[in-house]
A and B are shown apart, each in its own frame.
Chain A
Amino acid sequence: MRLFENADYALIPNRRIGYIISGTLLVVSIISLLTKGLALGIDFRGGMEFVVGGTTDVSTVNVRSALIETLEEEPEVKRFGETGHLIRVSAPEADITMMENRVTSALNDQFTGQEISIESTNVVGPRFAEDLKRGAIYAVLGALLVIFLYIMVRFEWRYSLGAVAALVHDVTITLGIFSLLAGIAPFSVQIDQSLIAAFLTIVGYSLNDTVVVFDRVREYVNLFKTEAFDVVVNRSINATLSRTVVTSVTTLIVVTILFFFGGEVLRGFSFALIIGVIIGTYSSVFVASPTIVELNRRLEKSAA
């Protein structure tokens, strides 16, 4: 089977279409991030999470209203797989055991006949959350810096800028989608540690794609010295298009499986990866490559 063999699409000449798509997505994402913001998970703001079992037959709304009084705040309640519900409270300084007992006794009183049990807990103190947040920020910045430097050493600064532009594009849009889905999605889309791991994986994946295209550009620039730079780039993208698509397909297969079969714990994580793989593939063709073409054009202009 062969896909995109001898592909010869006018991708770079039509890069404006890409600009329009990316621009729209970016604007929507940034607006959503600025107005609606991101829902931070308890990893980064502190709080408690309890997964209760035995509430499968009870609706989310009923669980929430059963808990409001005893917890002295409105908890976030989400369905948690087959097990029951995920209950999230901010309670920064409260005693864990006390909160746990309040949840079980309130639910037991309200829904008699159900076997209510706490299946898992996750508690993050405010100070620990502060540390995790700092760690996450360092991790993201560190990753971007190392990548920028590595590409600069291996390629040229233009390529570096192109790669990082694509990465910023990918992460911004993925974050934007998470911001838009907050409160709507049937699974947890809060930003927690595992999502930071997902974002960094997206960064790695998107880079993977970009590097493969750039590697071909590097090769073809020496091979077709007489041709214009944008023609060379377009040719490189087409030459690697088959590989780009095949790798995206295999990766999409596995992350989709993870989304459906990986369990409730990994749902947000795998969702981020699905979005990331799609956008990462798109951006290596429509963001990273056009960036180096535009940069080259500016350089040539200023040289002339």
Chain B
Amino acid sequence: MQGNGFKIGLTIFFVGLCGFYLFPSVQNLYVSYKMNNMPEEERVEYQEDNRQWLQRVDQNSLNLGLDLQGGMHVTLEVEIASLLNQLAVNKDQAFRQALRTAGQRAEEEDVSVVNAFVEEFESANPDGRLSRYFRDEGENITRRSSNDEVQEYLQGQADSAVQNGIQVVRNRVNQYGVTEPSIQRQGDERIVVELPGVSNRERVRDLLESASQLTFHLMGNPQQLSQSVQRMIEYYEPTAEDSARIAEANAADTAAAGMSGDTTEATEGTQLAASSQQSAEDEEGTALTEPGAGEQTGPQNSLLAAMQPMPAQEQPIIGRAFASDTSQVNDLLSEPEVRNMLPPGVTPMWTSSPVLTTEDGREAYHLLAVQTEPELAGEVVTDASVQFDRQTNEPKVSITMNSRGARQWDRITAANVGNQVSIVLDGIVYSNATIQSRISGGRTEITGLESRQEASDIVTVLQSGRLQTDLNIISERTVGPSLGEESTRAGFISVVSGFLLVVLFMIMYYRTAGVVANIALLLNLILILGILAGFGATLTLPGIAGIVLTIGMAVDANVLIYDRVREEQATGKTLRAAINAGYEQSLSAILDANITTFFVGVILYSFGVGPIKGFAVTLMAGILASLFTAIIVTRIVFDYLVEERRMKVSYG
């Protein structure tokens, strides 16, 4: 047994680590089982009381792929060719030809549009200079810039277009109100969007693919607004006969809507000023009130349940709601009758960033009353950048407009000094500032910003207004909840029955040693799941197939060892000597066989997409786990049985 201390320690360490990572998943299973057995009311209460804890458990448990839990997986592509076309000036035949060929090449080969374009242009025009098409003072691209500099600039522009696309998609998805969406960049020009449990595919497609439009809007009149809001609340005030129905329908929302008083206020007045002007005034944010009152007994007003109205302010704010309730509010306000209660020509729009965050991490957004007709289209913006105030060092956004835009802007700002103007992209308000004075000359500054981040977010949005980012769905996979459930069940049955049959076979074939191999196999399963949970990997159906396959193949290492032990025993060795020789002699074969399969897993992981990656991950995790259990864990058990207990171990 000497020398096994380290191995035992290692085993305990790994198993403990996996247990640590798997614990939240087990908790999650237990909690959802418990909650499923609770009556509706009790469940809502339980969820409310343990919101933070439930969220943490859910976040830390093993992720299920969309093919198991149901949902929508969309790959979007940003049209870089159209971006280049928009960026270029003085376009001629050579430019168009190069761009067209580049588009085709990018479709057929593994090359980015920008690189293909530059290559095509250079090969067709050996002495041609790209700087004749592209000009950008801010980025220092001038007539004298070399082709390499232009290429780098274009790559930068393409990159920020994709970043931009991600931001646009994120806001649109938030607007739709999906829980736990995942939006990730893939490669140079793609965005992968994963939305669990979507029922309306058509709406999501439209939402993702619609062209983004940047506009500048004036706001609704705050005085008129407070009356409108009052009438809307009255509209949703439950009447006697439908109070029962409403009470039932709103049970869930009611409990969810109580806003905690412990909040951090993030609203601060932002101002719009002509470049030269220094703005000093700082509007204090709205004071917080405890909404909806804690003791809600009778039927609930469904609008008040989802949104906290914020009337009687000098601001065009309709109300405030948590992210989870925004789509509910949208539905309530889109009732034709309610819509008509708003002042004419006004549309409600949400702010892009949360105006406050509660202590348990929930974010609330303002619903603003914005004039439906835009004053100015975003294409007049020629440049936008983050700058810092020379005196206070505060971040600010500087906007430059073309001459046509500057003229209109002059007129708008002159007529609306003291009013607010908002920058709107896709029906979301990104910035909402008070006009300090008439702005002539087209150079505008937004000051009074919270952070550098806020400033650069606004710049990103302004840039995207200048250049339209076209997003196309190039692949979509949706799995309905029932099919997902079916797959989960099928996967579970396969794992359990595969495991049981292999366990039986091993006992039949190898007797005591088979039992030891089965212990290793069970440990193996725990280790695989632990590795997946620990690395935050997602369990997909092919992933489960990988686990099932691993169950069959994991015993291989033990089979190799056991057969070797039998062979050694046949040569007349004692049990102990045979075990020693068996483990030693079979090690090279086990390692060689597993390393090659591991390589296959690595290659599969690097070239595979989506669910296949899940398969590769479980395959690799399975190999690592089975190597560990077969070589180290079973050895500890045999050493213990043979040396400590002096047992006669049967290898069948």
- Contact across chains for B476 and A83 when beta carbons are under 8 A apart: no
- Contact across chains for A262 and B491 when beta carbons are under 8 A apart: yes
- Contact across chains for A150 and B480 when beta carbons are under 8 A apart: no
Q: Which of A13-21, A30-38, A133-141, A224-232 contacts B (4 or more CB under 8 A)?
A: A133-141
A136 to B110, CA, bound (A): 13
A211 to B205, CA, bound (A): 50
Query: Which chain A residues lie closer than 8 Å to B551 at the CB level?
Result: 254
A121 to B205, CA, bound (A): 13
Check if B42 is an interface residue, CB within 8 A of chain A: no
Check if A257 is an interface residue, CB within 8 A of chain B: yes
Q: Which residue of B is nearest A48, CB measured?
A: B476
Check if B67 is an interface residue, CB within 8 A of chain A: yes
Check if A215 is an interface residue, CB within 8 A of chain B: yes
Q: Which of A82, A150, A249 contacts B505 (CB 8 A)?
A: A249
- Contact across chains for A146 and B599 when beta carbons are under 8 A apart: yes
Q: Which of B232-240, B585-593, B637-645 contacts A (4 or more CB under 8 A)?
A: B585-593
- Contact across chains for A139 and B607 when beta carbons are under 8 A apart: yes
- Contact across chains for B476 and A197 when beta carbons are under 8 A apart: no
- Contact across chains for A123 and B542 when beta carbons are under 8 A apart: no
Check if B545 is an interface residue, CB within 8 A of chain A: yes
Query: Which chain A residues lie closer than 8 Å to B592 at the CB level?
Result: 154, 211, 215
Check if A119 is an interface residue, CB within 8 A of chain B: yes
- Contact across chains for B593 and A212 when beta carbons are under 8 A apart: yes
- Contact across chains for A207 and B542 when beta carbons are under 8 A apart: no
The smallest C-beta distance from A181 to any residue of chain B, in angstroms, reads: 20
Check if B54 is an interface residue, CB within 8 A of chain A: no
Knowing A119-B480, A251-B553 touch, does A136 contact B607 (C-beta < 8 A)? yes
Knowing A122-B476, A269-B545 touch, does A97 contact B612 (C-beta < 8 A)? no
Q: Which of B205, B473, B548 contacts A262 (CB 8 A)?
A: B548
Q: Which of A118, A147, A197, A266 contacts B480 (CB 8 A)?
A: A118
Check if B40 is an interface residue, CB within 8 A of chain A: no
Q: Could you give, for residues 96-133 of chain A, a 1 whenever the CB lies within 8 Å of some chain B CB and a 0 otherwise?
A: 11001000000000000000011111111111101110
Check if B344 is an interface residue, CB within 8 A of chain A: no
Q: Which residue of B is nearest A151, CB measured?
A: B596
Q: Which of B202, B509, B552, B553 contacts A1 (CB 8 A)?
A: B509
Query: Which chain B residues lie closer than 8 Å to A203 at the CB level?
Result: 600
Q: Could you give, for residues 587-613 of chain B, a 1 whenever the CB lies within 8 Å of some chain A CB and a 0 otherwise?
A: 011001111110111011011111110
Check if A270 is an interface residue, CB within 8 A of chain B: yes
- Contact across chains for B473 and A96 when beta carbons are under 8 A apart: yes
- Contact across chains for B473 and A53 when beta carbons are under 8 A apart: no
Query: Which chain A residues lie closer than 8 Å to B206 at the CB level?
Result: 97
By size class, the interface of chain B is: 35 or more
A136 to B545, CA, bound (A): 19
Query: Which chain A residues lie closer than 8 Å to B509 at the CB level?
Result: 1, 3, 246
Q: Which of A122, A216, A250, A266 contacts B542 (CB 8 A)?
A: A266
Query: Which chain A residues lie closer than 8 Å to B615 at the CB level?
Result: 194, 197
Check if A183 is an interface residue, CB within 8 A of chain B: no
Query: Which chain A residues lie closer than 8 Å to B478 at the CB level?
Result: 120-122
- Contact across chains for B589 and A212 when beta carbons are under 8 A apart: yes
- Contact across chains for B593 and A208 when beta carbons are under 8 A apart: yes
Complex interface residues of chain B between 314 and 328 (CB less than 8 A to chain A): none
Q: Which of B487, B566, B599, B609 contacts A132 (CB 8 A)?
A: B609
A280 to B437, CA, bound (A): 80
A5 to B562, CA, bound (A): 13
- Contact across chains for A194 and B611 when beta carbons are under 8 A apart: yes
Knowing A243-B560, A262-B494 touch, does A121 contact B508 (C-beta < 8 A)? no
- Contact across chains for A211 and B609 when beta carbons are under 8 A apart: no
A249 to B555, CA, bound (A): 11
Check if A40 is an interface residue, CB within 8 A of chain B: no
A96 to B545, CA, bound (A): 30
A49 to B494, CA, bound (A): 26
Q: Which residue of B is nearest A120, CB measured?
A: B479
Check if A239 is an interface residue, CB within 8 A of chain B: yes
Check if B269 is an interface residue, CB within 8 A of chain A: no
Check if B108 is an interface residue, CB within 8 A of chain A: yes
Q: Which residue of B is nearest A252, CB measured?
A: B552
The smallest C-beta distance from A130 to any residue of chain B, in angstroms, reads: 6
A273 to B615, CA, bound (A): 14
- Contact across chains for B559 and A243 when beta carbons are under 8 A apart: yes
Query: Which chain A residues lie closer than 8 Å to B297 at the CB level?
Result: none
Check if B563 is an interface residue, CB within 8 A of chain A: yes
Check if A60 is an interface residue, CB within 8 A of chain B: no
- Contact across chains for B483 and A123 when beta carbons are under 8 A apart: no
Of the listed residues B472, B612, B652, the one surrounded by the most CB atoms of chain A closer than 10 A to its CB is B612
- Contact across chains for A208 and B548 when beta carbons are under 8 A apart: no
Complex interface residues of chain B between 536 and 584 (CB less than 8 A to chain A): 541-542, 544-545, 548-549, 551-553, 555-556, 559-560, 563, 566-567, 570
The smallest C-beta distance from B280 to any residue of chain A, in angstroms, reads: 53
- Contact across chains for A128 and B487 when beta carbons are under 8 A apart: no
Check if A56 is an interface residue, CB within 8 A of chain B: no
A82 to B108, CA, bound (A): 39
Q: Which of B486, B563, B593 contacts A263 (CB 8 A)?
A: B486
- Contact across chains for A258 and B549 when beta carbons are under 8 A apart: yes
- Contact across chains for A143 and B599 when beta carbons are under 8 A apart: yes
Knowing A201-B549, A254-B549, A265-B487 touch, does A211 contact B475 (C-beta < 8 A)? no
Of the listed residues A81, A118, A239, A242, the one surrounded by the most CB atoms of chain B closer than 10 A to its CB is A242
Check if A2 is an interface residue, CB within 8 A of chain B: yes
Q: Which residue of B is nearest A194, CB measured?
A: B542
Q: Which residue of A is nearest B75, CB measured?
A: A128
A19 to B487, CA, bound (A): 41
- Contact across chains for B608 and A197 when beta carbons are under 8 A apart: yes
A118 to B77, CA, bound (A): 25
A81 to B107, CA, bound (A): 36
The smallest C-beta distance from A201 to any residue of chain B, in angstroms, reads: 7
Query: Which chain A residues lie closer than 8 Å to B508 at the CB level?
Result: 1
- Contact across chains for B490 and A212 when beta carbons are under 8 A apart: no
Q: Which of B486, B498, B559, B603 contacts A83 (CB 8 A)?
A: B486
Q: Which residue of A is nearest B623, CB measured?
A: A204
Q: Which of B472, B494, B616 contacts A197 (CB 8 A)?
A: B616
Check if A293 is an interface residue, CB within 8 A of chain B: no
- Contact across chains for B541 and A265 when beta carbons are under 8 A apart: yes
Check if B474 is an interface residue, CB within 8 A of chain A: yes
Query: Which chain B residues lie closer than 8 Å to A211 at the CB level?
Result: 589, 592-593, 596
Query: Which chain A residues lie closer than 8 Å to B603 at the CB level?
Result: 139, 142-143, 146, 200
Query: Which chain A residues lie closer than 8 Å to B108 at the CB level?
Result: 130
Query: Which chain B residues lie closer than 8 Å to A143 at the CB level?
Result: 599-600, 603-604
Knowing A135-B607, A262-B494 touch, does A250 contact B552 (C-beta < 8 A)? yes
The smallest C-beta distance from A118 to any residue of chain B, in angstroms, reads: 7
Check if B56 is an interface residue, CB within 8 A of chain A: no
Complex interface residues of chain A between 229 and 255 (CB less than 8 A to chain B): 239-240, 242-243, 246-247, 249-255
- Contact across chains for A266 and B553 when beta carbons are under 8 A apart: no
Closest 5 CB pairs of A and B: A263-B490, A254-B552, A139-B607, A215-B589, A204-B597
Which A residues fall within an 8 A CB radius of B?
A: 1-3, 5-6, 51, 53, 81-83, 96-97, 100, 117-128, 130-132, 134-136, 138-139, 142-143, 146-147, 150-151, 154, 193-194, 196-197, 200-201, 203-205, 207-208, 211-212, 215-216, 219, 239-240, 242-243, 246-247, 249-255, 257-258, 261-263, 265-266, 269-270, 273
Question: 21 A-B Cβ contacts within 8 A?
Answer: A53-B482, A97-B206, A117-B480, A118-B480, A121-B477, A122-B477, A130-B108, A139-B606, A146-B599, A193-B610, A197-B604, A197-B608, A204-B600, A215-B592, A250-B506, A250-B552, A255-B549, A261-B493, A261-B494, A262-B545, A263-B486
14 other contacts beyond A132-B609, A207-B600, A263-B541, with CB at 8 A cut-off?
A96-B473, A100-B201, A118-B201, A120-B478, A120-B483, A134-B110, A139-B607, A146-B599, A146-B600, A197-B542, A243-B559, A247-B559, A250-B506, A262-B491
